[in-house]
Amino acid sequence: MRILKFAFLLFFLSYDLSADIRLPQLIGDNMVLQRDQPVKIWGWAGPKEKVTVTLKNKSYKVVTTSEGKWEIKLPAQPAGSGFEMVLKGKNQIRIKNIAFGDVWLCSGQSNMVINMERVKERFSEDIASANYPDIRNSFIPTTTNLNGPKEDLPESNWKTANSKDVLTMGAVTYFFAKDLYDQYKVPIGIINSSVGGTPIEAWISEGGYKDFVDTQKTIAQNKDTAYVNSLNRRFLSSRKRTSPTTDLGQVELWESEAYQPKGWRNFNIPGYWEDQGLKDLNGVVWFRREFEVPENWLGKPVKLYMGRIVDADEMYVNGKKIGNITYQYPPRRYEIPANLLKAGKNTFVIRVTNQAGKGGFVPDKPYFMTFQDQQIDLKGTWQYRVGQVYEPVNHSKVFRPLVQQNQPTALFNAMIAPVLPMSVKGFIWYQGESNTENPQPYNKLLPALINDWRSLWKDPDAPFLVVQLPNFQDVNYTPAESNMALLREAQNKALTLPNTSVTVTLDLGEWNDIHPLNKKDIGKRLALSARHIAYKEKDVIYSGPRLKSKRISGDKILLTFDGVANGIQSNDGEALRWFAVADYDRKFVWAQAKIVGKDQIELSSEVVKFPKYVRYAWQDNPEGVNFYNSEGLPASPFRTDEEILDESKPWKGKKTAVVLTYDDALHVHLDNVIPALDSLSLKGTFYLTASSEAARNRIEDWRTAAANGHELGNHTVYHPCDATAAGMSWVKPEYDLSKYSLARIQDEIRMCNAFLKSIDGRSKRTFAFTCGHKKVAEGEFIQTLSDEFVAARSVRHEMHALQEQNLFNMDCYSMVGQTGQQMIALVKAAQQSGKLLVFLFHGVGGEHALNVSREAHSELLHYLKAQENEVYIDTMLNVAEHLKNFK
């Protein structure tokens, strides 16, 4: 009976507690609610409980649902602060110091996370003078969820901007909020929901992935708890060491004052140990040096700065540990306690641990200790000794765990979804570094994120401000390809959506730090964007020059720009840097850039006589960019050699499509055709017969062709043709297609597919009927292989419109002796009719009886290149995929 009474009491107490009004983390003291629009107050209580909300002497009532949820929509309120709200149910809650102003949701990765404490040396005056009670910040702790949106955030609260609490505010967001507040004197609320090192995929909702089939599968799989747990178990199992090793420095106490160093070698700090005699070492390296300090330092706390260290470090002074940091990015700022330093020599010891890549001390960072206005330089010659060498890791056998914060929807579910009831003024997005290894998907992911959040907040025009990646990494003084440039380009494509901006930071980065310290100018530039877009100050210049048009005139290119304000300027008075030009071969060289008008730049090069393409600042780190407008805002990187195709339209928005296909004369195609195509950046499809000497003996050449974007198509193993057809007496009896069984042709086609996959590694490709013949003894065979191919090319001199296409019977024009003008006439007919034109070349310049001259072929290619604005030119595979997707 006592047990039953106790259980009843527990039930009663738990029910009573659950009946109390409970508020989400965002609703509390010091909160900012969006002004000038209805705002929602929401929470939880007992089922069917009456809840009253009182604000400004007006009360609003609601009854909770059967699940205990409630929400009240308050009428729009003007800007102001210092208000209280009282909520009554079975309990009473009083919320103090409420402000009505503008709320900005700020998200992304570590550069959005980095707080004012991290940049306190650079912006000490801003911190000391921070006294803005109407700037409020709510920082969301990291949390994830793979199973779906959560209702509430982890424990968090609103803080006002004062010299103490401002240290926890994101640096970019504080300077952004301060500029807006100084401009409008309206309370500014920042909800900072960001996590370092995370990809954009984690921040999009499941509904935002409606057009991403593969991602939808991943999301569904990640909801299976057993699957996720099995991945983590496999990871832990794969990490088991067979023979653990020990750090000798910890055994022998190398940090202690009593230790007598033996066998230590010289090392110059700053620098990486791989550059100073330690090859490919992952493990633990100890460093030591003795310093004498001024007498007036004794008995006083001394600040010590050790730049940045890769990866982790422990710092010792005179045998005592004064601090440690466990990963590479934070600056090493330690304090030597009072009474630890002594007269005479003081021993400094650093234990550095590195797991991968170069370990050591990042150059071009501060290395010194200081007291009052005195400094001692810590750079120079130290001694080192290796304490532990990690066993080489066979990464093929190490199973990667499922890192939840990197999974699609995981951060949206836990850190964005609970914010949805909160009305906001707009969004700021500062992310991209984690997607630079594979930047191409970002072209679709960023618009998906923007559209997703706007849709969920039911505001299709909500301001969305994007911070572009800054300059970073080593400077490359030759034109180069760059993943960071590709990702910046993808960020720029956000500008195609309404009410968006991209803040250029190409001049604010640091070559040796993925987390540049100058967050103040980033915040100020974001505030300019907000003033123009969100606050409708249309006269505010918020971006640098943007390319408007390009005109080629002989050996020069004239570029015209928008966004120049009162004119293009070189901010250092020198010639504009980082412009490159190229001919059709896309071999870029540096160009001379000359300002020839308020909004125009003329480019030329002694090397490229007929320039066609331009790139600007197309580098990881175009250090020292000097192309600005008169308002001191830099131009964004750009290029003109990328085609912008509209996947939603026939022929990707162009009038027609042309496919160049090549059979049989494979040596000639490798030697004559592919160089001609590559020189104009055109792509072709080459149908290989696996038994051909030119296919078997030049595999590396074909592999290179495939890597350059050309398609390797299937022409079977032995090129069988129907010997019974007219004019086919040359066909060898053993390769008479009419005598083939269905099984034989299937086997030979699959064998050729395997051969081709061994060259290019691809599974998708197209097939070409040999001699255009389609039947074996049992009848037509291609339908039985529809799973093996995307399309099949036939031979019949016809063109067809997009909707008329039969993917497994795509017609082509076989070229035999045509002139360039005759082939161009076919292209013009396709341009007029909007139909697909497929060319078939057996030989180009020899090696086959069915041949066209190299000159005629070249004339056709140059016409096609000149018509790229109207003609979609691609491989048979890519055009077939387009047809398939469009249908």
pLDDT tens profile 738-786 = 999 999 999 999 999 999 999 999 989 999 999 999 999 899 999 899 8
511, HSE (Cβ side, Cα atoms, 13 Å): 10
Structure tokens at 79: 């800007």
C-beta atoms surrounding 554 within 10 Å:
9
Residue bearing tokens 């968090």: 156
Q: Whole-angstrom Cα distance, residue 337 to residue 322?
A: 8
pLDDT at 80: 98
Contacts of 744 (CB under 8 A, 6+ apart): 776
Angle between helices 171-184 and 519-533 (to 10 degrees): 50
Answer yes or no: are the C-beta atoms of 152 and 24 closer than 8 Å.
Answer: yes
pLDDT at 644: 65
Q: What is the DSSP letter of 513?
A: B
Q: Whole-angstrom Cα distance, residue 870 to residue 275?
A: 53
Residue 525, classed as helix, strand or coil, is: helix
Question: What is the bridge-based pairing of β-strands 836-841 and 656-663?
Answer: parallel
Q: Which residue type is seen at 631? A: E
How many Å from the N-terminal Cα to the C-terminal Cα in the chain?
73
pLDDT at 584: 81
Q: Label residues 859-878 b or e (16+ Cβ within 10 Å = b).
A: bbbbbbbebeeebbbbbbbb
pLDDT at 395: 56
Cross-strand partners of 838: 659
C-beta atoms surrounding 702 within 10 Å:
23
Q: Whole-angstrom Cα distance, residue 829 to residue 797?
A: 13
Q: Give the 3-state DSSP-derived string for 665-688, with helices as H, strands as E and coil as C.
A: CHHHHHHHHHHHHHHCCCCCEEEE
DSSP 270-299: SEEGGGTT-TT--EEEEEEEEEE--GGGTT
Distances (CA, A) of 860 to 27, 28, 153, 811: 68, 71, 62, 19
Q: How much is the pTM?
A: 0.76
Residue bearing tokens 């030759």: 478
Q: Whole-angstrom Cα distance, residue 160 to residue 30?
A: 7
Q: Whole-angstrom Cα distance, residue 37 to residue 14?
A: 38
Q: Whole-angstrom Cα distance, residue 245 to residue 531?
A: 59
pLDDT at 586: 84
Structure tokens at 41: 């107050």
Residues in the chain, pLDDT under 70: 1-18, 236-244, 393-399, 643-644
- Tens of pLDDT, residue by residue over 222-273, are 999 888 888 877 776 666 544 457 999 999 999 999 999 999 999 999 999 9
Answer yes or no: are the C-beta atoms of 479 and 615 closer than 8 Å.
Answer: yes
Of 481, 844, 459, the C-alpha closest to 675 is 844
Structure tokens at 693: 């000497």
Angle between helices 820-833 and 854-866 (to 10 degrees): 30
pLDDT at 192: 98
Of 29, 22, 35, the C-alpha closest to 136 is 29
If you count them, how many residues does the chain have?
Answer: 887
Q: What is the DSSP letter of 838?
A: E
Answer yes or no: are the C-beta atoms of 158 and 136 closer than 8 Å.
Answer: yes
Question: What is the bridge-based pairing of β-strands 80-88 and 50-55?
Answer: antiparallel
Q: Whole-angstrom Cα distance, residue 53 to residue 36?
A: 19
Q: Which residue type is seen at 611? A: P
Answer yes or no: are the C-beta atoms of 775 and 739 closer than 8 Å.
Answer: no
H-helix segments, 239-287 = 248-252
H-helix segments, 330-472 = 410-411, 442-456
